[in-house]
Structure 1
Amino acid sequence: MFFDPDNKIVRLCAEGMQLEGKGNFEAAQELFSQAWEASQSDLERFIAAHYVARHQKSASSKLKWDEESLHYALKIKDERIKTALPSIHLNIGKCYEDLSDIQRAQEHYQLAWSYGQQLPNDGYGKMIKAGIRQGLERTFN
């Protein structure tokens, strides 16, 4: 992706991820919420919503934030955003699966798979592709 390390929203989310790594999830969620409140552009809203989604307590609440992230991602005109779409659709598919809406889960897992060609062939790309395959296997078997 194309994240500017000088962008306030990106910095808040990066700091939140560091706190997550240390097990300080409440403080991380606070930074992600601050990022959402301060976000102004579609890119900033996409990023912040993605991270806010990570700490939701229910699948329906997580789904709301993942769909919010997708909404703003689709408004971004830069082609590089397509590298984020497999992960977003994977997350949405998992929410629907957790909510027992298998048909909608399958739809999003299939969308994730269709965008999967945009992923790099590195550790991140392989992890997302594996998650998509597992989601497809769980919901189609």
Structure 2
Amino acid sequence: MTRIIEAVQLGQTGAPAQARELLTTLWDEIGPAGDALHCCTLAHHLADLQDTTEAEMAWDERALAAVSELTAERAQRYLPSLQVQAFLPSLYLNLADCHRRLGNTGPAREYLARAREHLAQLPDDPYGETIRAAVRDFVADDPTDRRRR
């Protein structure tokens, strides 16, 4: 997780190409059948570093697939406060956003509905409020609206 977080921070501080390269290398090391926490985290952050919506959606789908394999016990070994179900609103919202930008309003609305179903799982903190606000403000029919968590 240390290497993943370091790469993510590179992307957040203005070096997205380097972050994408490092995260892709880590993904290649662990593979899709690796530790579910690592896979989910890597895929989630790799999605944000893609050049196309299609590539972004593929990584978002990998993140969602990995979270289905992630247990609360595993997540809490890394950080005791982590709640796996709290990952779902953001993951679903990201997929809704990709579908919206691709003009797939039906799937966008379906993923948005799934995000809403899981809002109660979010913590009462700034992260939780950010996701709640993004879900509340999401416009499923506007492909020019690029809001993401």
Task: Name the TM tier (shorter chain).
Answer: 0.7 to 0.9
For the pair 1:24 / 2:15, whether they are aligned, the reply is yes
Is the 2:89–2:119 contact (alpha carbons within 8 Å) kept by the matching residues of 1? yes
Structure 2 residue 72 is matched with structure 1 residue 78 = yes
Deviation at 1:22, TM superposition (A): 2.2
Aligned pairs (5 A) from 1:45-64: 45-64=39-58
Please give the alpha-carbon distance, in whole angstroms, between the structure 2 residues aligned to 1:21 and 1:43: 20
8 Å Cα contact 1:89-1:111 kept in structure 2: yes
The letter of the residue matching 1:57 is: D
Deviates more, 1:16-25 or 1:89-98: 16-25
Taking only the aligned residue pairs, the percentage that are identical comes to 28
Shift of 1:140: 6.8
TM-score of the two chains, using structure 2 as the length reference: 0.81
Cα 1:140/1:67, change in 2 over 3 Å = same
Work out whether residues 63 and 92 of structure 1, in 8 Å CA contact, stay in contact via their aligned partners in 2.
Answer: yes
Note if contact 1:93-1:107 (Cα within 8 Å) is conserved in structure 2: yes
Residue 5 of structure 1 aligns with which residue?
none
1:39-74 residue CA offsets vs partner (Å, 9 max, x unmatched) = 222222111111111111111111111011101101
Q: Which runs of 5+ in 1 are unaligned?
A: 1-9
Structure 2 residue ranges without an equivalent (≥5): 74-82, 143-149
Greater Cα offset, 40-49 or 60-69: 40-49
Cα distance in 2 for partners of 1:61, 1:134 equals 24
Q: CA deviation at 1:11?
A: 1.4
Aligned partners of 2:12 and 2:57: how far apart in 1? 23
TM-score (norm 1): 0.85
- The farther-off stretch of 30-39 and 113-122 is 30-39
